[in-house]
Chain A
Amino acid sequence: MKVRYCKMLLPWIYGLGCVIFSYPVFSQEKTITGTVYSSDGERLPGANVIQKGTSNGTLTDAEGNYTLQLIEGADILVFSFIGYVSEEIAVNEQSVIDVRLLSDVMSLSEVVVVGYGTQLKREVTGAVQTVDAQELQDLPVAQVTQKLQGRLAGVQINQTTGKPGQGMSVRIRGQLSVSGGSDPLYVVDGFPITGDIGSINPDEIQEISVLKDAASTALYGSRAANGVVLITTKKGKPGQTNISFTAYAGVQEVPREGRLEMMDAVEFVRFKKEYYEDAGQPVPEIFQDPSQYEGKNNDWYDALLRNAPIQSYSLAISTNREKVSTAIVAGIFDQQGVVLNSEFRRYSLRINTNYDVSDKIRLGFNLAPSYIEDNIPETDGTRGTGILFNALHTWPIMPIYDENGELTRFNRFPAETGNIFAYANWVRSVEEIDNETTEVNLLSNAFIEYEPIEGLVLKSTFNAELYNSKYFFFNPSTATGRINVPLPTTAFSIRENIEDFSWLNENLATYTRSFNDHNLELLVGFTNQKFRRNRTRIQADTYADDRLPTIQGAININRAGTNSGVEEWSLTSVLSRFTYNFKGKYLFTASIRSDGSSRFGADNRWGTFPSASIGWVVSDEDFLKGIEAISFAKLRASYGVTGNNNIGNYTQYALIDNTVNAVFGDNVAPGAVVTSLANNNLGWETTEQFDVGFDLGLFNDRIQFMYDYYKKTTTNLLFNVQIPQESGFGNFNDNIGEIDFWGHEFAITSINTNGKLKWTTNANISFNRNKVISLADGIDRVYGTWHITQTGQPFGQFYGHMADGLYWNEEDLANSPQVPGRSTVGSIKLRDVNGDGIITRGGDNDDRAIIGNPFPDFTYGITNTLRYGDFDLSVVGTGSHGNEVMVRHLYSTTNLDGVFNLMKEVKYRFRSVENPGKGFFGTTVGGGNVTGIERDWMNSRFVTDASFFTIRNVTLGYTIDEPAKFIRSARIYTSIQNLYVFTDYWGGSNPETSMQNNGQGDGGNLSQGVDLSGYPVPRTYTVGVNLNF
């Protein structure tokens, strides 16, 4: 509540601070020795050590050691190494100078990974942002996408639910689609994976490149429109053997602050008492004396939570012996969830090997198996299906434990108390119901590279991904996750096995040549990829014995829940890129890819995706060379076309469902019906994107600044257009409509101080906007349950009635528009938007309007890293401003009929004309006919600002060089993840929430920003150690 956003921006201003150095002069000859380390303690061979202002210098040896005889001149040593920030150290009286260089992702001499190759950072003409995984290593989370929160301009990463190992929503430049997928394409070592990025141990990752504009992504053609994330895993480094071990362990908790404040037993009983009194009805005995419940509160939500341990261990070995280099990373990650009985465990291994057969031929093999097991109770969902939601609104007078201290089974009070539902004991629900998944994932690549003549490299790659998951669900007769299921219930089990196999063959030829000042590179290639999924699901019920949840232990196989299926797709592509620059100053890149896809209709099988980009290194021009402060400046512009092929595998076909059976007498007769319409022209979604930006380096690149403006137009949206059902069909899959996206992105990296205290700041801020230009002809709006997507407006806006307080008295009621037959004094007053004198929901006289926007005005992130001597401190913050959330659970948690437990605020409801409360909650009198409007007619009181700034992580570390023999360096650190959330959001603890990823309810892009009280995101305290051997 508490902090306005402008305060949150203060760190930005600090970040711009700068420190001035002085240069003492010394003239005595002297020998200096020492060792150069990387910031994580690796010895750096081949680093430059130069006496400033002279040509006197040396390189470090294989162990990173150096010896330098000083000559006359400045008494300052300059240490530098590619990919690290150069450092200047005054010699003074020292004769041994060890130095630890900071890795520098912004370094312009750095090589960055781009699609199908690498490029010098200074020559990149697209919008590409890279993150060195080193910077992310301390964050105690399961998935690399969680670690990226707040690091990238233009990339909104939200944790929509705190389920261990799940729930990340990643949107690059706000891209979204009506019904196609909107997740970016993840490419691991050149292989566009089909599985979950969460199965990869983040410690295997060396570097992440995020491709944002069309010039960077167009080489991925029909899969590129949502942006591309390139992940490069660790490789053996030349000339080194490194062994490192990292581990952390800690505990997670759900902080008290921010939780939804529900009534305790006394408050609830008081509410019930008043409910009957206000209605003029006799108060049931159990509600007559609220004070008798003093000290007898049952906090059902809290009962489901615990403090839970988290731990992670990774061992990495990299060697380089003669012609073979190998990197091996083995990891164990184990996260218990903060909800009882939830856990996520990952065992992973990666072996990357390169073998130089000769000067001209190289081979490479990467193999990365992982094994994941998790158990995640059905915590998230709507009322009745989400256990956490159910627990929130369970009466606090219902006992969790019985007189003997045993967990109760379920609670139901007599009907005259207004308890119309049976409530299971939710503690049993999470503890007794199995909801386990085990996953085996194997990523592998093999390549052969051949350089027949200088400059020409031919490369063939074979990639395969195997994935197998086994899901097991067992609901014993003694528990349920649903409301209103009295126990014992019918026990049932679900088993689902999925086997995926995907392979990719890529054949690339790259020709690089430089002559005079012309540098050019030509890439041509063709690729084939195929995916196949086999799925089997068996649902069985009615168990004789809960202890034997086997298939044969069930009396009944549920036919409707038992099925199998195959999903397949194939993709054939040809691609080419031409890169040219003159003197490294005038830069030009053009690329094209053609994709043929089995997903596209027979009459529309191939799509072509071109792009072009230009860059101009202005700082190389004479007119800027005189300006000392500007060390680098580049202008960039790009244009390109990309596609989104996440349209379903068989959407083009008219499908027959042959399970629509009839009955005649006692006989079941197989029936078949056409369930969808064919579309032979069905194709990809097309996104045209224009981008301009510049990169600026100031004060010898101590401050680096990046800016991009983009404008995208997505057309041919895959749209399951609603058609009149007089046709017998509900929808027709078509490519229609147009959405515009545009935005600004700013990123800055600043080395604020580089003396004894090294302080760097990384910050970014992004402004993303979208607007629906058109939908289908004749259709200007698409409704979700609580959303509308309408032409001329941003996508997926909250839709409902405007709430204008309550009808305060008879006069107010008489003079205001009403819901005929339902509005009473003290009930909610909705706005008569169309001015016809009555309030109507739906139909031609609909009074609903747009009541909120789930999209933020801007999102931002800031990372400060400080290093002083052997201590290091980093603080990561992320924020979002101006987004709203629909607090959907209010339809239960503020239900005025006394059926559920309520938020404390409902105490301040309307009780009489004299006692109207705060005007937010209406009268309880009149039953569902009156209160149903407030509850069921979605209105603007459900919508609230959800701006936030989260201190995502604070880490404090201490490094010791060579603490023991065989240990080159050791670092110990302590870290707090999700330290604090500054927000005015009052609908629960997670303002990033959205039900879109939890597989419940509407879901999808049309229904973003809905809070159904999902799994809370924990605060995590850890201690960790990094050892280098």
Chain B
Amino acid sequence: MNEMKKSVILFGLTMLTFAGCQDDFLTIVPETSLSSATFFNTEADFQQAVNGVYVPLRNIVNERAWLLGEMHSDNTYYARNILFGATEQQEDIADFAIPSDNGVTTNTHVLNQYRLDYRIIARANQVLSRIDEVAFDANTKNNLKGQALFLRGYAYFELVRYFGSVPLHLTPVETRDEAALPMAPEADVYARIIEDVEEATGLLPPKSAQEPGRATSGAAKTLLANIYIARQKWAQAESLLKEVVQSNEYALMPDYADAFSTNTGNKNNGESVFEVQFKEGPDGLHGNFLYRFMPRPMAPEELVTITGTANPQPLNGEGNNIPTPDIIAAYEDGDLRRDASIDYITIEGSFWADKTYPYIKKYAKTHALHNNHGINWPVYRYSEVLLFLAEALNEQGKAGEAENYLNQVRSRAGLGAAQGDLREAIYRERRVELAFENKRWFDLVRTGRAIEVITEYGNRIKANPLAYYYPEGAAPRGNAFTNISLYYALPAAEADLSPHF
């Protein structure tokens, strides 16, 4: 029995020893990735977190914004490839045929645009909710906060223009219950983004004092002016835009073609107010939008004449964002911007009788790797600041002053002073100056012309599909131009998960 007692005691002691160190034994935090418990503690953490806020912009401009803002207008269309199915998602957008019921749609591009904007917002919220708890250099902190506010404001501005009323998240979501918020009225969203971007204008340094490519006070002021213009608050817009002009941080590039970045150079040039940054290479920082804008099917030897890569591959599927006859005709005779913006390519594999398609040239810069380029995407250029300012002035009856700014833009394009009604002139000028920069749909909506212009455009396509790249025998789908509305329906996949819409 003695033996047994000893054993039991020994057994018990061992057991206690193990029980004692159990907590350490059972706490294993991931060794090779960071968790939120240990992050957001240093200046460097916030620097990285703010960098992360920018990232979804790449996906937005590379994959979605041109669909929702440009091909969803009379500027560009798709080049039908009858051999390809599974293209209805893009076609529905270009054809104003997005199926929507009860205010929601299953369109995948609408869904992704929505989610990408909220990804920016959520990342900005993480930064903004925690940055004040950590002490570090005030200038750096202001700069970081300003960038986060600018980006959050930009994302909400996209959302409010696409959808109108949307949920307004201003703090990070931490539990499942917080994930869905009620819809905020359009006016509330605008009020909040004006507040955000206004704060950002005060926190951000001017372009000359900021790392190239990041948000600046000039960018924030331009964004804020754009918001005011969308709200038709012309005076507020005017004063902000004048600050931008008078800052002497920006100037028009002498040659319109030079306003756009090349694959590796001319980035964030003197005309650039804000652009989305890309870098060619294998690290996932590249764009490939140029390829998305190509008519198809395209043979490698045809493609290489545009891209100049060493390893061209064939392009299949259906080409998107192809300039329409309408936009080509919108350029006045002698407008230098037409040849800088649009070029032509003949593709032998096409079913379209003509086989020679226009394509967007302003981004067609040679690069090294197939389907991988570092061309930046312009969001705001100084020429738009001038056109905004002309518009804001003209709407307040200051036509003379307005013409001055308008003609700065026209003269760079090799054109003389604008003729006729100034409001129409500014509207036309925006279309050609900013063609393929995802401005057209928003301009149509805010100027109240969307329904009329798109209805007529739809009629032209249906009357003459051959002119809009349909092969012989193919015709626009039955549902084309049956759903022309000013807002996109909210994404169905989100509606399924939210109790609020």
Residue B51 at the A interface, CB < 8 A? yes
- Report yes or no: B173 in contact with A728, Cβ–Cβ below 8 A: yes
- Report yes or no: B316 in contact with A484, Cβ–Cβ below 8 A: yes
Which chain B residue shows the least CB distance to A490?
B311
- Report yes or no: B86 in contact with A729, Cβ–Cβ below 8 A: no
Most chain-B Cβ atoms within 10 A of its Cβ — which of A541, A663, A822, A931? A663
Stretch of B77-85, B191-199, B391-399, B443-451 with 4 or more beta carbons under 8 angstroms from chain A: B77-85
Residues of A near B311 (CB, < 8 A) are 490
Given contacts A596-B22, A661-B283, A732-B176, contact A725 B32 (CB under 8 A): no
- Report yes or no: B169 in contact with A727, Cβ–Cβ below 8 A: yes
- Report yes or no: B283 in contact with A559, Cβ–Cβ below 8 A: yes
Chain B contact residue count (CB 8 A cutoff): 102
- Report yes or no: A597 in contact with B180, Cβ–Cβ below 8 A: no
Please list the 6 inter-chain residue pairs (A to B) with the smallest Cβ-Cβ separation, ordered nearest first: A728-B122, A928-B85, A932-B85, A415-B349, A821-B478, A664-B213
Q: Give the complex CA separation of A598 and B84 in angstroms.
A: 51
Contacts A658-B48, A663-B279 given; 9 further ones with Cβ under 8 A? A667-B211, A672-B52, A678-B35, A723-B176, A727-B179, A728-B169, A728-B172, A927-B474, A928-B87
Q: A654, A670, A840, A936: which contacts B36 (Cβ < 8 A)?
A: A654
Given contacts A420-B297, A422-B314, A724-B494, contact A662 B54 (CB under 8 A): yes
What are the interface flags for B473-501 relative to A under an 8 Å C-beta threshold, 1 for contact and 0 otherwise?
11001111000000000001010011100
Which chain A residue shows the least CB distance to B283?
A559
Q: B28, B32, B35, B48: which contacts A565 (Cβ < 8 A)?
A: B32
Q: In angstroms, how far is the closest chain B Cβ from the Cβ of A456?
A: 6
What are the interface flags for A95-134 relative to B under an 8 Å C-beta threshold, 1 for contact and 0 otherwise?
0000000000000000000000000000000000000000
Residue A17 at the B interface, CB < 8 A? no
Give chain A's interface residues, CB within 8 Å of chain B.
280, 414-416, 418, 420-422, 450, 452-453, 456, 458, 484-486, 490, 507, 509, 526, 528, 530, 541, 556, 558-560, 564-566, 568-570, 572, 574, 596-598, 602, 605, 649-650, 653-658, 660-674, 677-678, 721-729, 732, 734, 778-779, 820-822, 840-845, 897, 899, 927-929, 931-932, 935-936
Q: B36, B121, B313, B479: which contacts A674 (Cβ < 8 A)?
A: B36
Residue B353 at the A interface, CB < 8 A? no
- Report yes or no: A661 in contact with B264, Cβ–Cβ below 8 A: no
Q: Give the complex CA separation of A528 and B28 in angstroms.
A: 14
Residues of A near B114 (CB, < 8 A) are 725-726
- Report yes or no: A666 in contact with B478, Cβ–Cβ below 8 A: no
- Report yes or no: A566 in contact with B32, Cβ–Cβ below 8 A: yes
Residue B459 at the A interface, CB < 8 A? no
Residue B136 at the A interface, CB < 8 A? no
- Report yes or no: B83 in contact with A927, Cβ–Cβ below 8 A: yes
Q: B30, B181, B268, B474: which contacts A665 (Cβ < 8 A)?
A: B268
- Report yes or no: B179 in contact with A723, Cβ–Cβ below 8 A: yes
What are the interface flags for B328-348 relative to A under an 8 Å C-beta threshold, 1 for contact and 0 otherwise?
000000000000000000001
- Report yes or no: B45 in contact with A655, Cβ–Cβ below 8 A: no
Given contacts A559-B282, A560-B284, contact A729 B173 (CB under 8 A): yes
Stretch of B7-15, B218-226, B409-417 with 4 or more beta carbons under 8 angstroms from chain A: B7-15
Given contacts A664-B277, A727-B180, A844-B492, contact A656 B35 (CB under 8 A): yes
Q: In angstroms, how far is the closest chain A Cβ from the Cβ of B6?
A: 8
Which chain B residue shows the least CB distance to A670?
B48
12 A–B pairs (Cβ distance < 8 Å), ordered by A: A415-B297, A485-B313, A569-B28, A598-B27, A663-B285, A668-B285, A673-B126, A726-B181, A727-B180, A822-B477, A843-B101, A932-B86
Residues of A near B39 (CB, < 8 A) are 656, 672, 674
Q: Give the complex CA separation of A667 and B300 in angstroms.
A: 31
- Report yes or no: B85 in contact with A664, Cβ–Cβ below 8 A: no
What are the interface flags for B292-310 relative to A under an 8 Å C-beta threshold, 1 for contact and 0 otherwise?
0000010110000000000
- Report yes or no: A452 in contact with B7, Cβ–Cβ below 8 A: yes
Residues of B near A526 (CB, < 8 A) are 15, 18
Q: In angstroms, how far is the closest chain A Cβ from the Cβ of B126?
A: 6
| Residues 126-177 of B at the A interface (beta carbon under 8 Å) | 126, 166-167, 169, 172-176
Q: In angstroms, how far is the closest chain A Cβ from the Cβ of B490?
A: 10
Residues of B near A840 (CB, < 8 A) are 99
- Report yes or no: A415 in contact with B213, Cβ–Cβ below 8 A: no
- Report yes or no: B25 in contact with A570, Cβ–Cβ below 8 A: yes
Which chain B residue shows the least CB distance to A675?
B33
Q: Give the complex CA separation of A450 and B3 in angstroms.
A: 11
Residues of A near B49 (CB, < 8 A) are 671-673
Residue B366 at the A interface, CB < 8 A? no
Q: Give the complex CA separation of A658 and B32 in angstroms.
A: 11
- Report yes or no: B178 in contact with A727, Cβ–Cβ below 8 A: yes
Residues of B near A661 (CB, < 8 A) are 51, 55, 283-285
Given contacts A665-B277, A672-B49, A677-B174, contact A820 B478 (CB under 8 A): yes
Residues of A near B105 (CB, < 8 A) are 843
Q: Give the complex CA separation of A573 and B245 in angstroms.
A: 71
Q: In angstroms, how far is the closest chain A Cβ from the Cβ of B302?
A: 11
Q: In angstroms, how far is the closest chain B Cβ from the Cβ of A337?
A: 32
Q: A564, A602, A669, A729: which contacts B32 (Cβ < 8 A)?
A: A564
Q: In angstroms, how far is the closest chain A Cβ from the Cβ of B368?
A: 11
Which chain A residue shows the least CB distance to B11?
A509
Which chain A residue shows the least CB distance to B159?
A726
Which chain A residue shows the least CB distance to B105?
A843
Residues of B near A280 (CB, < 8 A) are 473
Residues of B near A415 (CB, < 8 A) are 297, 299, 348-349
- Report yes or no: A650 in contact with B30, Cβ–Cβ below 8 A: yes
- Report yes or no: B123 in contact with A728, Cβ–Cβ below 8 A: yes
Q: A605, A928, A935: which contacts B83 (Cβ < 8 A)?
A: A928
- Report yes or no: B28 in contact with A928, Cβ–Cβ below 8 A: no
Residues of A near B181 (CB, < 8 A) are 726
- Report yes or no: A664 in contact with B34, Cβ–Cβ below 8 A: no
Given contacts A560-B284, A671-B48, A936-B85, contact A845 B300 (CB under 8 A): no
Q: B86, B119, B174, B477: which contacts A936 (Cβ < 8 A)?
A: B86
Q: In angstroms, how far is the closest chain B Cβ from the Cβ of A401?
A: 24
Given contacts A486-B313, A528-B25, contact A655 B179 (CB under 8 A): no
Q: Give the complex CA separation of A734 and B81 in angstroms.
A: 45
Given contacts A452-B4, A658-B48, A661-B51, contact A653 B14 (CB under 8 A): no
- Report yes or no: B176 in contact with A664, Cβ–Cβ below 8 A: no
- Report yes or no: B11 in contact with A666, Cβ–Cβ below 8 A: no
Which chain A residue shows the least CB distance to B299?
A415
Q: Give the complex CA separation of A566 and B30 in angstroms.
A: 8
- Report yes or no: A727 in contact with B118, Cβ–Cβ below 8 A: yes
Residues of B near A657 (CB, < 8 A) are 33
Given contacts A526-B15, A570-B26, contact A728 B118 (CB under 8 A): yes
Q: Give the complex CA separation of A935 and B86 in angstroms.
A: 10
Residues of B near A935 (CB, < 8 A) are 85
Given contacts A421-B316, A528-B18, A821-B479, contact A570 B28 (CB under 8 A): yes
